Amino acid sequence: MMNFSFFFMVTLGSVICQTVILPSFSWFSQCFDILIILVLYLSLTYSRYGAVIAIVVIGGIMDSISGVPFFLHIFSYLWIFLIVQLFKQLVFQRSVVFMMVVSLIAVTIQQCLILFSVFIEQGQQGVFNLDFTLILRQVFWAVLFVPPGVWALNVLRQNYFYAIRQFRRELARKYRG
């Protein structure tokens, strides 16, 4: 239950930040999908069906409120989950290089799916009209900010659990007598 409440609050905060707060800044066009941080954290921490369900729900929320074709976020988040699960078996997952590579792959997957959806919608001309330097900048910023974001999410989760345990102890001490 504590995991659910934590991830619910983080998901809600991330969605609000990405859809309401960040668009008001001029540098928002440089920003990658910040929910990738949450998806990577879930993928690195959990490997059960609950993580898949949570990722599908997060993707469904983003598909519902964004203007991209439906299932784009769900599909990209599930691919990220699958690739991280594969990498977890092959590589030591606590290294900085691993996090940077996984971040690069995660954002590249999402950008490729966006390119594919533009190609399906508008054809070759639509793909050639895209700003590829923007795509490269988003990948660059993701490689820089996703690993610290995953680390910060881990610290936030540990502090959240510590605060909940302290609150429970305080309540038990107060009402048990």
Residue-wise pLDDT for 95-128, tens only, equals 788 888 889 999 999 888 888 888 888 888 888 8
Q: Quote the tokens at residue 32.
A: 């990658």
> Does residue 16 lie within any of the structural domains?
yes
How far apart are the C-alpha atoms of 91 and 93, rounded to whole Å?
6
> Does residue 78 lie within any of the structural domains?
yes
Q: Quote the tokens at residue 17.
A: 């930040």
Average pLDDT over residues 35-40: 93
Inter-residue contact 85 to 47 (CB < 8 Å): yes
For residue 124, the enclosing domain spans: 2-20+31-176
How far apart are the C-alpha atoms of 17 and 23, rounded to whole Å?
9
Closest CA to 101 of 112, 88, 115: 88
End-to-end CA distance of the chain: 26
How far apart are the C-alpha atoms of 75 and 113, rounded to whole Å?
9
Closest CA to 110 of 30, 32, 47, 45: 32
> Does residue 110 lie within any of the structural domains?
yes
Q: Quote the tokens at residue 2.
A: 């504590």
How far apart are the C-alpha atoms of 32 and 76, rounded to whole Å?
13
The model's pTM is 0.86
How far apart are the C-alpha atoms of 12 and 25, rounded to whole Å?
20
Q: What are phi and psi of 71, to 5 degrees?
A: 80, 0
Closest CA to 96 of 39, 144, 157: 144
58-98 pLDDT per residue, tens = 999 998 988 778 888 999 999 999 998 888 888 766 678 88
In the chain, the number of structural domains is 1
Quick one: pLDDT at residue 40? 92
